[in-house]
Every structure is written in C-alpha cells, then in structure tokens.
Structure 1
Amino acid sequence: MLNYLVLFVLSTTVLITHNIILLNEETLILVCFITFFWLGTKNLSAGINDNLESKIFTAKNNLERSLKSSLLNLQNLLNMQKRFWVLLQNFKQLGYNCLRFAGLITDAVVSNSAQSLSELFPQKLQFTIRLENQTANLLSKLIILKLRKIVKLKGFYSSVIGNPHFVCSDKIIVRECIQKINSVK
C-alpha cells in the first residue's frame, strides 16, 4: 500500500513541475479532502462500519415495531368496525321489533275499543233516539202553541182593535186563496 502512496506522490510532483496540475487553493483543498477521505476510510472503516450496522439494526427494529403497532391498530379498527356493524344490525332488529310490538298493541287497543263500543253504542243510540223523539215532540208542541197565539192575536187585532193593517192583509190573503182555487180548476 505504501508503494501506491509513493507512486502517487511522485506522479503528482511530476505533474506539478510540468504545470499540468496548477497549485492553487482549490486544488490544495481537493487534495486534502481526498487524502482525508482515503485515510478516514482506511483507518476508521471498522468503527464506522460497526456504527452504521448498529444504526441499521436500531432502524430495522424501529420499523418492525412500527409495523407491528400499525398492524395491531388496523386489527383493532377492523374489530371495532365489525362490532359497530353488529350493533347497527341489532338496532335495526330492535326497531323492527318495536314497530311490530306497537302494531300488536294498537291492534289490541282497537279491537278492545271496538268491542266496548259495540256494547256501548246500542245503549247510546237508543238514548239518542229517545232524546230526538222527545225534542221533536217538544218543538212541535212549542210551534203549535206559538201559532195558536199568533192566530189569536191576529184575530184580536183585526176584529176587536180594528187595525187597518191586519184587516187589509186579511183581505189580501183571502183574495190570493180565491185566485189559487180558481187557477187550479
């Protein structure tokens, strides 16, 4: 390895003396960097390699742990979604059962009320019929009484008091009745 170094230094010196390689700051910095890099890789390669291997190992472990936790989280999420869908199905079934129960209760109430109405309705209907008959009789008697009073008052005003209005209307009514009788013949 030393032979290569000596050969490199001699060839560089020859190139510099013939002005093929110009020595300025940039070239010197390039030579120093290459030398530093070569010495660093030669002398420190084992330590750097061990350090890189340990970083690779920790990165690999971190990635594996991250993947395992992500997998566990995804499995938990899937289980939660399955439980949610089961819960949703249970709520749907509960809704159907509530509707069916409400329908049965409604049918029972309707049939019970229909039966009680069928027992109660004829009694109320008979009471209503009797009430209507009595009301009709009462109204007809009241109308007859009022008409009798009107006839008596008309006769009283036309004959006893001699009110010309009632006498005149009585004559007009008599004429109209005679005309109706004549038109029918």
Structure 2
Amino acid sequence: MLNISIVVLVSFILVYSNIIILNEETLILICFVTFCFIAFNKLQNVVFEDFQSNSQKIKISLSKSFIELMNSLRLVFKHKYIFENIISNLQFLKNHFIAFGFLTSKKLPIYLENNVEVIYPKKLIFTQRLESQTSKLLALLLNYKLNKITNLQNFYTHNCKITTFLCINKITLREYLKVL
C-alpha cells in the first residue's frame, strides 16, 4: 500500500508548482478517490464475502437446474420409449383383432348351428308340453263352463218354469234335430 505521507507530500509539491490546480472539481475528485480508496480497504472483506455467498447461491441454483434438466430429459426419453412401445403394441393389437375377426366370421355360423341344434329341441319339447297342458286346461275350463250353463238352464226350466226358457229350450231342441 502507499504510504499516506508520501501521497500528501507529492500532492503538496504538485499544488505548489501549479501542476495541480485546486478548485472545486479537483477537490471533489480528491475526495472521491479518497472515498473509493477507504471504501475499498474497509469494505473489501464484506464485499468479497457477499460475492462469495452470491456465487455459491448461483452455483447451487445452476446445479439444481442442471439436475432438473437431466431428470426432465430422462423422463422425455422414457416417454419416448413408452410411446414407441405403444405404437408397436397397437400395431400388434390391430393384427390380433383382424385375425380374431376373420376367425370369428369363420366359426360363428358353425357355432350358431350347433347352438340351434342344442337349444331348439329343448324349446320345442317345452312348447309341446305347454301346448298339451294348455289344451287340457282349456278343455277343463270349457267343461266347467258348459256344466254351469246346463245346470243353470236345467234350474230355470224345471225349478223356475219360466216360459221363455221353456220356449228357447224347445227351439234349440228342434234345431238340433234338424241338424241330425
């Protein structure tokens, strides 16, 4: 470092010999240089530490961003690989679906024919049983209704002796005789 007494002595000689003129601008310049010199000497360690801490923060930030960039690149490559596999899997699925469609169209008529041969006899037997039971039920219902009608007619003709029923009975009897 410069010795302050040497600087003052040289300055005094330069001012005395009128090499340096002392006016406001020169005094401001001297004050500014002195301020910078003192600030540099006194604040040197603080500024250095601040710069060091800022550089460490920047270094950490850069390393984190680099790690994130690497992770995102790995993820992109992984997705690219998966996407390529999806395309090949979809191609395989398409081929399989076409083969399945052809095989199904070949085997479906045979399956339906076999299915018809198994199911329709059962349905026909069920329908035949249902028909026989329905015909028996209809016969029983018809017999029951006819018995009721004949019993009612017998009651009205013999017990009530209403002339209209007697007349109707004779008319129907004549019609039956004509048919025979």
Give structure 1 stretches of 5+ with no counterpart: 113-185
Superposed, 1:125-144 pairs within 5 Å as none
Which residue in 2 is equivalent to 1:19?
18
Q: Residue type matched to 1:37 in 2?
A: C
Which residue in 2 is equivalent to 1:49?
48
Which residue in 1 is equivalent to 2:140?
none
Aligned equivalents of 2:54, 2:61: Cα separation in 1 = 10
Give structure 2 stretches of 5+ with no counterpart: 111-180
Which residue in 2 is equivalent to 1:94?
93
Aligned equivalents of 2:87, 2:27: Cα separation in 1 = 77
Which residue in 2 is equivalent to 1:83?
82
Superposed, 1:49-68 pairs within 5 Å as 49-68=48-67
Aligned equivalents of 1:22, 1:88: Cα separation in 2 = 86
SS at match of 2:10: helix
Which residue in 1 is equivalent to 2:9?
10
- Give the TM-score taking structure 2 as reference length: 0.52
Which residue in 2 is equivalent to 1:119?
none
- Give the TM-score taking structure 1 as reference length: 0.51
Deviation at 1:8, TM superposition (A): 0.8
**4+ residue stretches of structure 1 with deviation over 4 A?**
109-112
How many residue pairs were aligned?
Answer: 110
Deviations 1:90-123 (A, max 9, x none): 11111122223333344x27997xxxxxxxxxxx
Relative to 1, partners in 2 of residues 1:104 and 1:48: Cα closer, same or farther, differing over 3 Å? same
Please tell me the root mean square deviation across aligned C-alpha atoms, in Å. Answer: 2.4
